[in-house]
Structure 1
Amino acid sequence: MMYPEVRLRRLRQDKKIRNLVCETRIHPDELVLPMFFDANISDTKYTDSMPGIPTHPLSGYDGIASGIQESGVSSVLVFGVPSHKDAVGSGAYERDGVVQKAIEGLKENSDLLVIADLCLCEYTDHGHCGLLDGCGCVKNDETIELYAKTAVSQAEAGADIIAPSGMMDGQVAAIRTALDDAGFKGVPIMAYSAKYQSAYYGPFRDIAESAPGQGDRAGYQMAWGNRKEAMREIEFDIAEGADMIMVKPAGPYLDIIRDAANTFDLPLAAYQVSGEFSMIKAAAANGWVDEERIMKESLVGIKRAGADIIITYFAEDMARML
């Protein structure tokens, strides 16, 4: 029997050889850890649907940050649960709001790069991402005015990057203008450009207490089946001044990540969201999958698809392994 001269298995036979020729690698600097702070608690708490993910009180920043940095993670994405909610989400843009305090605490007690998520859903009593009209629909232009106020308050608190996630038309332009006018021309915007109306957000809405009271977010977040629209959303955000772009969720939308990586030359983030994380955790807890291996495989898949930055609740675990 004649064998081919080219044998691809030659480069797979030994771990050192496999490492030598590995095409896709993840570095801890590329990982971002989402963090939650709650203005209503004095001790760390945990949410059943997000195993092992803490919600922190507005204290103990040095200990919180040192644990993260010791893992090798250097960037965090901050979310908050406010002391009160109202129809206009005022807790999002208050000078002493929960995220503003958390940003200040982290910046004063660590060298972490702090990204501020910007939306109103955690702060409104109806759970939607902006102001509602009489029919229960989110008002776009009035909402982005509040996004602009929120961005400035987050920058004043010390945020290194502003990350608007509300999917309002024109939000990046409004935020860029507000930041520039307030003297924060050097603060970048990481735009949640292609954010899908996903069922994978469920556990996040538990921990952040941000589920809509009525209806859903299909009127402003993207439909699952759309690829071309995602590219248009990204294109508009770039034109409006985005410095980084994002696809969310990550795992079910690897094709969108690849399309974005092939089309645009801005740094590209992908958010492995709460549902992706919790499904792996649940399957591992039942002995159905090897948690460490499937975590690595899922994150390498996101990187291989084209992501430069991976936002994941596995950030600390993955960084330690690296």
Structure 2
Amino acid sequence: MSTVFVVTAYGGPEGQQLSEREAPAPRAGEIAIEVRAAGVNPADGKRREGAFGTGGRLPLAMGLEASGVVTAVGEGTEGFAVGDAVLGAPARGLGAFAEHTVLTASRSVVKPAEISFADAATLPVAGTTAYDLIHQLGLTAGQAVLVLGAGGGVGHLALQVAAAHGLTVIGVASESKRVLVEATGAAFVPSGAGVAGRVREAAPEGVDLLADLVGGEPLRELAPAATSPAAIVSAADAETAAALGGAGREQSAGALAAVTSLVRDGLVDPHVTESVPLVRAAEALAAVEAGHSRGKTVIIP
């Protein structure tokens, strides 16, 4: 049997628990892995709450990104072999907060030896989101980007992806995240009352991309900082972004391989600050939901 962290009812954390299941087997186009690490994201809590729908079969296995070692390869699946170290996204809702899971082969890559399993586990969701946000508008070196929500796991990655692309980078986050943001080379602007004025001072000519990871009123307040409404891209609130004339983040097929290469080459550091055992998955998720993490949190089975 294999341990997995599940949700038995949509809603609050009271519906979460550890459970046992048979180690899942891969189908065509899938690879089974022994999980070495799983990234924790705000989206995990939203999924438990039913923000993405409540039609899924319960219990619902939690976790959206993982790294591990291949134990079996589905029929006709190419590019992977038993024993490969890999990272990717779980298939069929099988979750990542588990001792064993199955990944979708087309959403997985072989892990370079230079990258730890913990760092690798942050890339299938957080890493690709950051990469897509920064590259969606096709900016060129020297253009300016403002990352709203720069102190979180995805935001910190986005700052580094932007810097690696040669962009001028400004990060908006709480004062407690100043050191984290400035360590990437970005200009730091504290969030809170008066933030729009502070952003105008930092970027008087506006920014070519407003990369949003917060949404809602903070996004509306800073929208005028974009050189045009079309320069607004949100991974947190596509509806508000569209209402302002921008767009939601679009997923690109090559993002995982691209961001993995950036990490391998030392241009991006996932900044894993918390490694939590599977038995404490509920605590890890609660901390990420509360926004207390400075960097990325991973679960280690």
Question: TM-score, length-normalised on structure 2?
Answer: 0.30
- Looking at secondary structure, tell me which structure has more helix per residue: 1
Mark the structure with the bigger radius of gyration: 1
